[in-house]
Structure 1
């Protein structure tokens, strides 16, 4: 079967698609991934084509603050979404797949399905599209609004109106007419562990929690200095991925003070700029690098302080490491609140409220969550999300 996987966003949006592609190729399918450039994902063994969009460059230029995105909506956001919407259509016409598996940002997926007369599968990396009364859409509010939770899902449904011109261009390219009902997804897949998110009873039957899509890639080697640091004993890991907002230097000072104040060592992954550690603060007990493979460093970490993206949430939990979530934007407050609600982490600390005292109190609280996290890790060790997802996808075509 020919499968086209199309995704948009930063590393956390690309990595699960690449892992699913690896698993599908290993199962004998003809697979291609259409993705942004410079995501940071190692995909050398996967057939990847470019959507001609660079989210990493955008983050480096303007950070991740919502205000910056709104100010640059016409000059940055709309052109970026046009590249995704139209680029996805071009990739589909070139590859002619039997099924497309698409990120929610790929708004042209239903148009592609209509034009090629094939099913499409929606991948909700976070629960923000399928309405439920159980919780508000990730990326809206972190609080439980009860009966009003379903209303928060209208935001995702209205996205097409903001990018109508790009969708018109994609429709023309595909030879279909907009304005009439487009096909609904044949299935919706959420590559999330049930140990983190309980499946709502009001989801349709074709919406599936598959478990995370991990495990098929080649393990990255650790740099010698990181390998030596990890081998030397317990440490606190800190990394905020692609998040770049607020006072990164102040956050760095607070984190160093909190960790050192408890006699612990600190491994810092600076990512795209969410944390800055002054040279004077670095010593044998504080190692600072750009990035590290989570699978290699989180199992040995006493605690993981991170932004709460679903990829890092699942990596830390799977490693049996308690998280201290410092959310910035989007779904991160949702996961910070969800982990705390399920007894898996202390209460989240917003990125602009980080102090040595707050981080220190969270670190002191982590032992009470360790048993629950270890139980969740045990459950996750039995999950094979890629196999579950492939079984659903192949069943669609019979």
Structure 2
């Protein structure tokens, strides 16, 4: 939380700087509540655009717990409300931002209670197939389906990467996004124990016969060519794996990752999650072997991918919500 303090101060200042260029609506994610304060000062609407379910509900415990435990309907709802009212790293920049914008003093928790009272709209960039819509959400909270980043038409894979794919059976992907959670020696030990070809994202200096390190490669291109994907179960990487229809080995670390890891396991699209604090090379190699040998997981991942592909365009609910706010 201490490490996030500087980040949120910069993000709050950046929100003001961006909005000052001119905006009709501000869309705010779950960790940018100060965006709603900027919208209030500018006299324009704000709308939530979240990648994880953060509204207190009887259906799930709060994401901030960093755990996938279900505390029962009453426990989930009460704890969600407590977390919504508790201190957060974006509270100080929100307080300072309101002061600098000449807005009346009001805590972030009080502002969020006010938005709930007025049933402020929230759009979710995930599918109800993965997170069924809780019955206690108000009508302004919408699951739009997965929002996919636009493809860069100028991007092409390196010849090094293409040659690796051509040189053997589909490899296993290992990547932990910006967390940089695994050391190269750990990954090489996993590859040796599992006896599998592996592509490692975030370690481009690795270039071995059976292990290739890569930098930034679009997941929508990369994942469909994998036998399985090992990842930290962040919202975006989880979505990419589901859309690609490949089974996963989730290794959640914090915040919403245990929630997503448990969801894809319950959907029969992933192995039992391995908590990062319990991760060993032996355990990860065994889980990779288990996933590759389990035809039910492969078919489960393909089944959910087909159902996601059949969903309506996820941008349509966004366009409708924006149109309503502008009228």
TM-score by length of 1: 0.71
Aligned mate of 1:381, from 298, 301, 309: 309
1:256 Cα deviation from its structure 2 partner:
0.8
Q: Contact conserved, 2:26 with 2:36, CA < 8 A, in 1?
A: no
Matched, 1:101 2:14: no
- Counterpart in the other structure of 2:99: 172
Matched, 1:347 2:279: no
Q: 1:132-172 CA deviation, whole Å, 9 max, x = no partner?
A: 11111224121111131123323244346x55543343223
Q: Contact conserved, 2:28 with 2:36, CA < 8 A, in 1?
A: no
Q: 1:295-333 CA deviation, whole Å, 9 max, x = no partner?
A: 111101010011111111111111111111011222111
- Counterpart in the other structure of 1:206: 140
How many residue pairs were aligned?
Answer: 311
- Counterpart in the other structure of 1:301: 226
- Counterpart in the other structure of 1:267: 199
Distance in 1, Cα, partners of 2:208 & 2:184: 17
Structure 1 residues not aligned, in runs of 5+: 1-68
Deviation beyond 6 Å, 4+ runs, structure 1: none
Matched, 1:229 2:155: no
Distance in 2, Cα, partners of 1:216 & 1:394: 22
Q: Secondary structure at the match of 1:330?
A: coil
Distance in 1, Cα, partners of 2:179 & 2:225: 24
Aligned mate of 1:83, from 10, 32, 35: 10
1:87 Cα deviation from its structure 2 partner:
2.9
Distance in 2, Cα, partners of 1:158 & 1:95: 33
Distance in 2, Cα, partners of 1:244 & 1:360: 19
Matched, 1:251 2:186: yes
Q: Contact conserved, 1:295 with 1:315, CA < 8 A, in 2?
A: yes
Distance in 1, Cα, partners of 2:130 & 2:260: 9
Matched, 1:189 2:123: yes
Q: 1:48-94 CA deviation, whole Å, 9 max, x = no partner?
A: xxxxxxxxxxxxxxxxxxxxx4xxx2xx43232222223323432x1
TM-score by length of 2: 0.86
- Counterpart in the other structure of 1:53: none
In the superposition, relative to structure 1, how do residues 257 and 353 fare at CA in structure 2: closer, same or farther (>3 Å)? farther
Distance in 2, Cα, partners of 1:284 & 1:388: 47
Q: Contact conserved, 1:214 with 1:386, CA < 8 A, in 2?
A: no
- Counterpart in the other structure of 2:86: 158
Q: Where do 1:107-186 residues align within 5 Å?
A: 107-128=33-54, 130-140=55-65, 141-146=67-72, 147-153=74-80, 154-159=82-87, 163-179=90-106, 182=111, 184=115, 186=120
Structure 2 residues not aligned, in runs of 5+: none
Distance in 1, Cα, partners of 2:283 & 2:90: 41
In the superposition, relative to structure 1, how do residues 107 and 159 fare at CA in structure 2: closer, same or farther (>3 Å)? farther
Q: Secondary structure at the match of 2:179?
A: coil
Provide the aligned C-alpha RMSD in A: 2.5
Distance in 1, Cα, partners of 2:220 & 2:258: 23
